[in-house]
Structure 1
């Protein structure tokens, strides 16, 4: 999306911890406030659930995982939710999970999923049900001998099952306990997810399947398929997919549906389309029909990163004229025909989406005015904020965008995308987005990195913000994301945190390596070399720890050259510290040896490269202007 403004953009200025929920508003449109609970109860009840629930508190008693656990399902209970509940109970230690029409009694734990029994149990436990909740909301209660969950709709039930999964213990035998808990939850904005919309090596099929699993687990409901270097989306948009490619897309669509994620197919014809051509309209809708036939129900026509100063066919200039207003009119003409000839004629299709050529800013222009006045009002417009990569995004800006485009706004947030700065991994949190923003939007989609597994750290935080922006804290969510990825092992968590800290900086997080930088500043103040050496040893050893212990092997593969560079910079940093200490001690022999060794260590640290889609070798960057500055400082200050 940002190829045309790269020069400006390239300047870069798991115990799950959560914030307590305090005095939050009730569901949109209810006029109610969420029940207030004591901070201690709230934290204990909600601490295992991510994204942070809108309302959660402790209930009396607790549920115990019994050897045989019964699931009582409502007549229309979501199949995926039921399967998730049963798998989670087995992972919690139940030897046998059975479905039955009613509770068996005899002290067995019973889990009610949707239907009248679930509603009655929620009420019996003193918990309000799903009345008044928006789409995808849910209620969940845990009490003595029973658990109940219900969704406002099928997706809400699935999300309730995801929250229950997080509350349940993980053990290989019965007897685990779940404290009494009540959760009533709903999303802050309707659409929440990811748009694979970067330039560079598209994600692999396997990585996409893994991403869809991740989105479902984190209550993200949208995946937009729009990789810039998929020729069948852009240069060859008129051409049908080969059978094997179409089969892969169907597998993605099926997986998305199973995870309650809407798969959006985004076709980008702007490089060659003739807006006034009946033949091109037919080619576009025929392509959409092929995707409809494999189960796609969400469609987009992005028209970004193209020129509208010239037409692709003489007929367009004759029909629309010239200039930005003419381009907007031409695009509105094509989009309206797609909306009317395809979307409206396919019951079950969701609103058409588009990315305008002017997809950023809130300044009125003839182009935006044409879209605002001529484009069908139900078409959703994607917008990147004030700038291609917006360091901040506010409620006022979203309101201005809604006014100037005249349509519902879905943000295409260009974070953590790194196609414009391929030397870096962007592992910091989603930041700079004002509280209240999600409520002004049709939704939030984040454009991820070329590296899919490494994107999960930032995407975890996007999911947190989009679901419950009022409770969102960037650093808290970032720490929780690291803990989830690292797993329970403390050493792996330390290693991942050190590695991610060294690749923290971005337009949204302008300070690089904040924890390492703080450790260096402490050393400059107090001279405690032992403490700093421990930090640098953790950084040096982090790559080997992650390669040996991290369960997500995709993250290790994605991060290969950055892991190598981090190890090498850790070595150089420790040598720089040793040089400072040797000089302080008057050990000139040792200091001379280090001064001669460090330049070669720095050269090694700078030698690791990322190889891009076109074979270009890009030197990678970690902890830049922090650890390299410390090494330079040591050499300059102790030159002998």
Structure 2
């Protein structure tokens, strides 16, 4: 694992504040209820409350044990070798100069550690507990006190887990003398199988990453790893083919590492794309492949039959043998799997139960397919299930019980979290959530499908391990905080940076609120206006990527997160600039506010420019705290618009999910080449909407949908509607079968909101290139010089400072740009906004009142505000100085 020397114990000590342990009823032989006292920590003393996963029972004694220069390990005759290795390394990392094994304690005052056997049993009894013999499988007992340490497992894996808990209890220091508070732990898992299934689509993990993951699983008491990457051709398309020697050697190394870490390596072969279920030859090919893996040490096998068609047979013989339909598919699959169970698993002593993934893996609805599996499939086979939904937001005890009933077999969950192959633009760094307490005991086990990014998956997988081991004590946010502390290597500054980064990548189907801590900070700022405090939060977010790159022990996490780190820093810069814009706007500093406002578009373009490159070479724009940071920036710009007295660009909204980085804001950016793209097909009632920020007269409404390559992604049947209060909607126009929609509101129509709403469900998704409403109250702009290609005179008076009139040439003698509002306006000032670097003195500013023009002054630079003197102004003119460079004007505003 990529960790510094301090990662094991010190990291978890940082998490003490978020890992409270409560006393729970003990198992048989535990002596009843156990609890703990609040420990008083002293320098060099590790904390018993830092254990993770949270133990079933932990009790803090009043004494403590000192790490002496020499430590003796007394091991039982059958003590687990990997457990002993963990114990001895942990003692050395705790400061012991010399760790020796002996048949008995030396009796010279040196610390003795008993691992299994009679010595451990006696020491545990003396310390007030019993050995691990009376505990459930993989349970353990651990005690520290009276100058000794003792650990005992129900089995070898239990002893290994006791050693992992001891590793966490011990201090991390260079010299002897560190102290450990007296502690008694009795612990066991909530469900038999706990681990990870590498089952995503996309770039499979590297060999080095898999080895690192197996180390992580063992350290967190996870005992199963399912090898099932969808894009390993030897598992799917080439399932019949033998592995090349080098690939097989790598698998053997993984199997060996898994055994050393007490992790069961499960080999999952997916023949469904081409298998003939009734074929003896295909059965022979499948079992021959399994035999190859058996020969390198694999003892657990799976046959996933997900993501295939069961209405189309791969061979005519199957149709003849089984018929057609879902029931026939279930019967065919049961036939093949039963033969694998009987002719391979049952004939290989030591083989674990066969696992399978049904084609209907995502619900609990009765069906002919499920009925066939329930009635025909060998009862020893474990059935994998994703919950109610491919990615289940919640999973309950009742659902698991129903799954057991409808499939007729023990259920092993394939939990699709934190997998991100369906949202490759995101990292999913929030905790395991939405799983009911009591669920694990209903299951044969829990396996989590991780992200394409292995090291970045550890934050979520840490919390999966916590839940699967002890769901009763599990607290998602507390576990998430402890995961951050561990990955930060115990360094407070790194932990702050990692927490800010993870918070910005928190949202998922299991954690619907995006960036909860950042969102809270922004909401608090909206209430109290404390910009300094919010700037501290945003500065921490902006600096987090450089801190993580410099200090995070797990370099794989940094590599995995590269484009998201870059984008996070850029969004931090954009958000802090938006905050300063808000401050300047509130302070009435128009020139500074306009200077900051002009920086924001480029900062946002930079923030949205970073991409993840997938295995096919596709460049996917990444997202960071979407809906939070981008909304904050948009709101800052909108507030500036309001202060200027202009409408500004409408704000888009939708109830549809977003595909990749094609955010809803792209349908209002004035660029027909960019677009909003939904992540699902619209249903009846789905909508896209514009908020015009204030009620105003409506001009032409234009909706441009579809795009090159996806011409059918438009609302097939819909209506355009408008509203002033977002509650009462009025129909403007209906449309059917048209990707380009335009409507003219009746004269005098006013509204704040305009939306396009689907009136029927459809199969295709939705692309909106542009959704725009012409401002009926925009000023008329005339004169010159003429606009350059791609620009327009009206941009200088359209109510949107983001658009720019750009002249095609330099001004000539007598040329002027003239603005006529829709009606004379009482104005105290005229403000002219121009791009950064605009020269002073390029034009005189004149206003017309009562039919006569008078001069107010000259343009002073990018921001000019001149007093108009009151009265009704019915025109503004910029009289250009002859020979001035080609003029550019963002907006002319009467205020």
Structure 1 length-normalised TM: 0.96
Which one of 52, 55, 70 corresponds to residue 54 of structure 2? 52
**Residue by residue, what CA displacement relative to the aligned partner does 1:74-115 show, whole Å, maximum 9, x if unpaired?**
000000000110000000000000000000011000000000
**Residue by residue, what CA displacement relative to the aligned partner does 1:553-577 show, whole Å, maximum 9, x if unpaired?**
0000000000000000000000000
Match of 2:382 in 1: 380
In structure 2, relative to structure 1, the CA distance for the partners of 1:256 and 1:599 (3 Å cut) is same
In structure 2, relative to structure 1, the CA distance for the partners of 1:596 and 1:433 (3 Å cut) is same
C-alpha separation in 2, matches of 1:393 and 1:317: 36
C-alpha separation in 2, matches of 1:390 and 1:33: 39
In structure 2, relative to structure 1, the CA distance for the partners of 1:434 and 1:555 (3 Å cut) is same
Structural mapping, 1:568-587, within 5 Å = 568-587=570-589
Kept after mapping to 2: 8 A contact 1:67/1:94:
yes
Match of 1:3 in 2: none
Kept after mapping to 2: 8 A contact 1:19/1:472:
no
**Residue by residue, what CA displacement relative to the aligned partner does 1:525-567 show, whole Å, maximum 9, x if unpaired?**
0000000011110011100110011111000000000000000
In structure 2, relative to structure 1, the CA distance for the partners of 1:172 and 1:23 (3 Å cut) is closer
Match of 1:318 in 2: 320
TM-superposed CA distance for 1:38, in Å, is 4.6
Q: Is 2:38 the partner of 1:36?
A: no
**Residue by residue, what CA displacement relative to the aligned partner does 1:426-476 show, whole Å, maximum 9, x if unpaired?**
000000000000000000000000000000000000000000000000000
C-alpha separation in 2, matches of 1:206 and 1:34: 45
Which secondary structure state, in structure 1, belongs to the residue aligned with residue 266 of structure 2? strand
More helix by share: 1
Q: Is 2:384 the partner of 1:394?
A: no
TM-superposed CA distance for 1:398, in Å, is 0.4
Structural mapping, 1:227-246, within 5 Å = 227-246=229-248
Kept after mapping to 2: 8 A contact 1:64/1:177:
yes
C-alpha separation in 2, matches of 1:424 and 1:500: 11
Match of 2:728 in 1: none
Match of 2:361 in 1: 359
Kept after mapping to 2: 8 A contact 1:458/1:478:
yes
TM-superposed CA distance for 1:356, in Å, is 0.3
C-alpha separation in 2, matches of 1:64 and 1:174: 8
Q: Is 2:262 the partner of 1:260?
A: yes
Match of 1:544 in 2: 546
Q: Is 2:41 the partner of 1:24?
A: no
TM-superposed CA distance for 1:406, in Å, is 0.4
C-alpha separation in 1, matches of 2:217 and 2:180: 25
C-alpha separation in 2, matches of 1:401 and 1:347: 30
Kept after mapping to 1: 8 A contact 2:25/2:34:
no
Q: Is 2:219 the partner of 1:220?
A: no
Which secondary structure state, in structure 2, belongs to the residue aligned with residue 40 of structure 1? coil
In structure 2, relative to structure 1, the CA distance for the partners of 1:583 and 1:60 (3 Å cut) is closer
Which secondary structure state, in structure 1, belongs to the residue aligned with residue 455 of structure 2? coil
TM-superposed CA distance for 1:36, in Å, is 3.5
In structure 2, relative to structure 1, the CA distance for the partners of 1:33 and 1:427 (3 Å cut) is farther
**Residue by residue, what CA displacement relative to the aligned partner does 1:284-333 show, whole Å, maximum 9, x if unpaired?**
00000000000000000000000000100000000000000000000000
Which one of 410, 414, 420 corresponds to residue 416 of structure 2? 414
Kept after mapping to 2: 8 A contact 1:20/1:42:
no
Match of 1:195 in 2: 197
C-alpha separation in 1, matches of 2:30 and 2:102: 36
TM-superposed CA distance for 1:60, in Å, is 3.5
TM-superposed CA distance for 1:198, in Å, is 0.0
Kept after mapping to 1: 8 A contact 2:19/2:50:
no
Q: Is 2:89 the partner of 1:87?
A: yes
Which secondary structure state, in structure 2, belongs to the residue aligned with residue 189 of structure 1? coil
Which secondary structure state, in structure 1, belongs to the residue aligned with residue 141 of structure 2? strand
Which one of 493, 496, 502 corresponds to residue 495 of structure 2? 493
Which one of 76, 95, 101 corresponds to residue 103 of structure 2? 101
C-alpha separation in 1, matches of 2:453 and 2:607: 21
More strand by share: 2
Structural mapping, 1:144-293, within 5 Å = 144-293=146-295
TM-superposed CA distance for 1:16, in Å, is 2.8
Gaps in structure 2 of 5+ consecutive residues: 1-11, 645-895
Aligned Cα RMSD in Å? 1.3
C-alpha separation in 1, matches of 2:255 and 2:463: 25
Kept after mapping to 1: 8 A contact 2:116/2:153:
yes
Which secondary structure state, in structure 2, belongs to the residue aligned with residue 131 of structure 1? helix
Kept after mapping to 2: 8 A contact 1:71/1:100:
yes
TM-superposed CA distance for 1:488, in Å, is 1.9
TM-superposed CA distance for 1:22, in Å, is 3.6
Gaps in structure 1 of 5+ consecutive residues: 1-13
Match of 1:635 in 2: 637
Which one of 131, 134, 141 corresponds to residue 132 of structure 1? 134
Match of 1:595 in 2: 597
Match of 1:333 in 2: 335
Match of 2:464 in 1: 462
In structure 2, relative to structure 1, the CA distance for the partners of 1:52 and 1:42 (3 Å cut) is farther
C-alpha separation in 1, matches of 2:34 and 2:59: 8
**Residue by residue, what CA displacement relative to the aligned partner does 1:12-45 show, whole Å, maximum 9, x if unpaired?**
xx42335444452433xx4988523255269996
| Larger of the two Rg values belongs to structure | 2
Match of 2:892 in 1: none
| Aligned positions, number | 625
TM-superposed CA distance for 1:131, in Å, is 3.3
**Residue by residue, what CA displacement relative to the aligned partner does 1:399-431 show, whole Å, maximum 9, x if unpaired?**
000000000000000000000000000000000
Match of 1:6 in 2: none
TM-superposed CA distance for 1:59, in Å, is 2.0
Higher relative contact order (CA 8 A, sep 6+): 1
Structural mapping, 1:412-561, within 5 Å = 412-561=414-563
Moved more, 605-614 or 122-131: 122-131
Which secondary structure state, in structure 1, belongs to the residue aligned with residue 77 of structure 2? coil
TM-superposed CA distance for 1:489, in Å, is 1.7
Which secondary structure state, in structure 1, belongs to the residue aligned with residue 136 of structure 2? coil
TM-superposed CA distance for 1:613, in Å, is 1.0
Which secondary structure state, in structure 1, belongs to the residue aligned with residue 132 of structure 2? coil
In structure 2, relative to structure 1, the CA distance for the partners of 1:39 and 1:180 (3 Å cut) is closer
C-alpha separation in 2, matches of 1:412 and 1:619: 28
